[in-house]
């Protein structure tokens, strides 16, 4: 085990870049690598969850697979009420890569109970090879069925179906190019999201689950995200400007992943830059030279912009760009899928 480092204090941030006037969100900083093994995890919010998941990823990128899996196990056990589906899917891949059957089954069960479907896992080369080599097809089919039942019992299906219907109406107006009806549908959906946040929490993975192949087959359920909700926020060019304080608090509660908030910022920035805000004067356009966060990007990107991007990424509780680049190379080397959700084109999502 590596030498214990002193746990650096989390620093309150005041980010003029993010436009947070009195944010309570803490900045994303590296943790003492072994602190997860020596100290109890504070589960009163999900900021430590994301810090430790980052450490688990750093371990497997550094070739420390056993330590990575131990961090995943400890974090998932600590946050047993809810873990993000993508993290369970990644942990299962690391276990498969190492050949550890017990841990693979353990993390795969976590993935199933988080809404991940067996066909999604079997579409990932490292998992397909491992499952085939171990003859686990029948075992996983039984586990998938049991995990699916537990997952469906844990989410609000009625609320989920309402959002699927809202999503379909919005998309129908968009496809028909009926802009005024589309605009009103987007505004109504954003207002519904705001009400639900205030009533019980952001309607995403923890509350209504991830996109479903049966209820919302038009969405890619293997992205392990809740796009039927998030897409209305992407379509509304003022989502980040208007809701950022609520959204950051939902990150703290575990109801929303920080990547999704960062992508809203980046998407709104691009809409402002390209003059695509057709919603009148509902929000002020962002500075066209606003710092990127590189959730989604096109090659080539000047590495000299990474320090500024990383400063902003810390404010969004995301690891540095270089970490994502290492994950991309690692995934390609081992036949893994390490990026999920909307807006990850360059890094490559589910195949």
Q: Report in angstroms the alpha-carbon separations of 350 from 6, 106, 158, 160, 347.
A: 37, 22, 28, 23, 10
Clarify whether residues 163 and 297 are in a common domain: yes
Among residues 123, 154, 185, the one where a domain terminates is 154
Clarify whether residues 49 and 164 are in a common domain: no
Q: CB–CB of 294/343 below 8 Å?
A: no
Clarify whether residues 253 and 265 are in a common domain: yes
Clarify whether residues 90 and 200 are in a common domain: no
Q: Tell me the residue range of the domain where 209 lies.
A: 157-334
Clarify whether residues 170 and 242 are in a common domain: yes
Give the domain CATH number at 135: 1.25.40
Digit-coded pLDDT (tens) for 94-152 = 999 999 999 999 999 999 999 999 999 999 999 999 999 999 999 999 999 999 999 99
Clarify whether residues 206 and 322 are in a common domain: yes
Clarify whether residues 51 and 146 are in a common domain: yes
3-state secondary structure of 183: helix
- In the chain, the number of structural domains is 2
Clarify whether residues 195 and 269 are in a common domain: yes
Rounded to 5°, angle at Cα 338 from 43 and 292: 85
- In tens digits, what is the pLDDT along the chain, a chain of 351 residues? 332 222 222 223 323 334 443 343 445 665 666 676 767 787 888 999 999 999 999 999 999 999 999 999 999 999 999 999 999 999 999 999 999 999 999 999 999 999 999 999 999 999 999 999 999 999 999 999 999 999 999 999 999 999 999 999 999 999 999 999 999 999 999 999 999 999 999 999 999 999 999 999 999 999 999 999 999 999 998 899 899 999 999 999 999 999 999 999 988 887 777 666 667 777 776 776 677 889 877 766 889 999 999 999 999 999 999 999 999 999 999 999 999 998 777 777 654
Clarify whether residues 169 and 78 are in a common domain: no
Clarify whether residues 203 and 288 are in a common domain: yes
Clarify whether residues 124 and 225 are in a common domain: no
Digit-coded pLDDT (tens) for 324-337 = 999 999 999 999 99
Q: For the stretch 230-249, what's the b/e string if a residue is b when 16 or more beta carbons lie within 10 angstroms of its beta carbon?
A: bbbbbbbbbbbbbbbeebbb
Q: Report in angstroms the alpha-carbon separations of 203 from 163, 206, 315.
A: 9, 7, 23
Counting beta carbons within 10 angstroms of the beta carbon of residue 158, is it exposed (0 to 12), middle (13 to 18) or buried (19 or more)? exposed
Clarify whether residues 116 and 181 are in a common domain: no
Q: How many CB atoms lie within 10 A of CB 21?
A: 10
Two tokens, residue 163: 């959002």
């Amino acid at each position: 085990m590596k030498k214990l480092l002193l746990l650096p204090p989390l620093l309150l941030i005041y980010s003029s870049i993010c436009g947070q006037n009195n944010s309570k969100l803490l900045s994303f900083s590296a943790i003492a690598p072994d602190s997860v093994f020596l100290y109890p995890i504070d589960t009163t919010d999900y900021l430590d969850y994301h810090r430790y998941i980052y450490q688990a990823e750093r371990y497997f990128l550094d070739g420390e697979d056993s330590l990575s899996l131990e961090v995943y196990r400890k974090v998932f056990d600590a946050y047993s009420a809810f873990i993000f589906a993508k993290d369970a899917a990644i942990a299962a891949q690391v276990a498969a890569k190492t050949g550890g059957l017990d841990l693979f089954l353990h993390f795969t069960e976590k993935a199933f109970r988080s809404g991940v479907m067996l066909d999604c896992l079997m579409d990932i080369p490292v998992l397909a090879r491992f499952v085939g080599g171990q003859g686990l097809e029948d075992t996983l089919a039984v586990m998938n069925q049991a995990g699916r039942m537990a997952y469906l019992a844990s989410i609000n299906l009625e609320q989920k179906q309402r959002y699927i219907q809202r999503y379909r109406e919005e998309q129908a107006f968009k496809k028909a190019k009926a802009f005024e009806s589309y605009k009103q549908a987007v505004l109504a959906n954003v207002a519904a999201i705001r009400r639900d946040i205030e009533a019980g929490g952001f309607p995403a993975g923890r509350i209504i689950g991830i996109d479903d192949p049966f209820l919302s087959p038009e969405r890619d359920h293997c992205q392990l995200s809740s796009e039927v909700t998030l897409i209305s926020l992407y379509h509304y060019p003022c989502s980040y400007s208007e809701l950022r304080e609520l959204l950051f608090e939902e990150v703290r509660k575990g109801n929303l992943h920080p990547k999704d908030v960062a992508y809203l910022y980046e998407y709104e920035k691009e809409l402002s830059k390209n003059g695509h805000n057709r919603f009148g004067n509902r929000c002020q356009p962002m500075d066209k030279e606003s710092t990127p966060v590189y959730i989604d990007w096109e090659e080539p990107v000047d590495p000299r912009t990474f320090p500024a991007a990383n400063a902003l990424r810390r404010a969004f509780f995301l690891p540095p760009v270089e970490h994502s680049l290492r994950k991309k190379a690692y995934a390609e080397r081992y036949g893994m899928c390490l990026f999920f959700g909307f807006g990850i084109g360059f890094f490559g999502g589910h195949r």
